[in-house]
Structure 1
């Protein structure tokens, strides 16, 4: 039977912990989804694997329905996509049993589906067991780069996505880490404070902080620079009510 190692690798080789490196070297190969001919994150995975002498096996990622990414059909579309991934991964694992690694950007605990995929693989008997090793998460990097504590003294921090930001604000939450932003929609929040980061830990990393109304044009320009430098942009920010 096969076993799966889910390995958090932050934003690349510089964030691989000693514990993750040891678990990676124990893998027979690393399984990864290939999302297109110019998959920069797949190339970074190859770099991580090569630095530890482990083969990377890439298979095409199933298509995902993105036609209703903000609506009621979104959860169903994601479940269908995950089911297709599980099917493809199970077929490969059946052909190549052993100890298999999956490299997770940041950490598997936040907005990542690797653990759900592993649970499904285990439920259908494709793997005997799976384990998870933590990595450096994007909120950790954001806090470190801006020299921040994410919560006020005795306070809380709410982690959400860009598409759920308005609901969080309307619910009265006032200290928010916002991830997975397709665009920045901060109208009406001009007096809030923001600490923003784009492509943290990667070449072309960008940082901006200040009052939203003052620095939003700077953030948009930095976001464009990060996209130009890497061909993609992953950004997040801490947003705090005045």
Structure 2
């Protein structure tokens, strides 16, 4: 029997961990840490730093694994993601079998919260189809919370809805009719450049909640190019970037 716990760790700041998350990290036998390869080593390193700061149980083992990459030859986006998740699930199963052949408790650290634009639960579901696994989830602070806290703004207007979407959706389909406030995640192409900037305000954050955090806000007309340039420079400096922004008409 495997007990798998997905632990939300916030946006990389160890102070974002809840007491529940710290307790969960100390209760497992094995922690799996993905390594995304050259240029993104900091992400695995940040997970290890968090573990070093909060784990007091000497019996907890930590092991890294190379994260499979998506096959660029598969043109269908959904199929490409499904195949990728299958490959990751196989790596998880192999690591668990190697380090816990008799079963035990496994922990996986998830950026932000496992429920929000993260596929860890979907990958865990693939494991559950193959073997008996008890799955539990520990919620974490999301990048949306870190963004709005750093800018000291509410995410919604009084009594009004807001929409959480992705850069791809904004770029391909434009501003949705569902709300005048958008939170945009997973945007590698600064898709705010594709919308009408007049009368639109943006609050942008990179490395939200971390010591490297960068904040820019203002009229989209005024700060759009500044965000594009700042984002490119930050990615070149760190080798990776996580950013998020809120748009409001």
- Shared fold, TM over 0.5: yes
Count of residue pairs brought into register by the alignment: 237
Alignment correspondent of 1:8: 8
Match of 2:183 among 174, 177, 188: 177
* Residues 190 and 213 in structure 1, CA contact (< 8 A), matched pair in contact too: yes
The answer to whether the Cα contact below 8 Å between 1:174 and 1:240 also exists between their aligned partners in 2 is yes
What are the superposed Cα offsets for residues 80-104 of structure 1, whole Å, 9 maximum, x if unpaired? 0000111111122122231000000
- After superposition, the C-alpha distances for 1:5-52 in whole angstroms (9 at most, x for unaligned) are 100001232211111000110011111222114421111111112221
CA distance in 2, matches of 1:94, 1:7: 21
Partner of 2:109: 103
- Could you tell me which runs of 5 or more consecutive residues in structure 2 were left unpaired when the two chains were aligned: none
In structure 2, the CA distance between the partners of 1:228 and 1:204, relative to structure 1 (3 Å rule), is farther
Q: Verify the 8 A CA contact 1:204 1:229 in the aligned structure 2.
A: no
Query: Partners of 1:136 and 1:16 in 2: how far apart?
Result: 8
- Say whether 1:93 aligns with 2:93: no
1:226 & 1:120 partners in 2: Cα distance?
Answer: 35
Correspondence 1:74 to 2:77: yes
Further displaced range: 48-57 or 110-119: 48-57
Label 1:78 to 1:187 Cα distance change in 2 as closer, same or farther (>3 A). closer
Give the corresponding residue for 2:135: 130
Q: Which TM-score applies when normalising by structure 1?
A: 0.91
Assess if the C-alpha contact under 8 Å between 1:199 and 1:226 holds in 2: no
Quote how far apart the aligned CAs of 1:160 are: 0.6
Shift of 1:172: 5.9
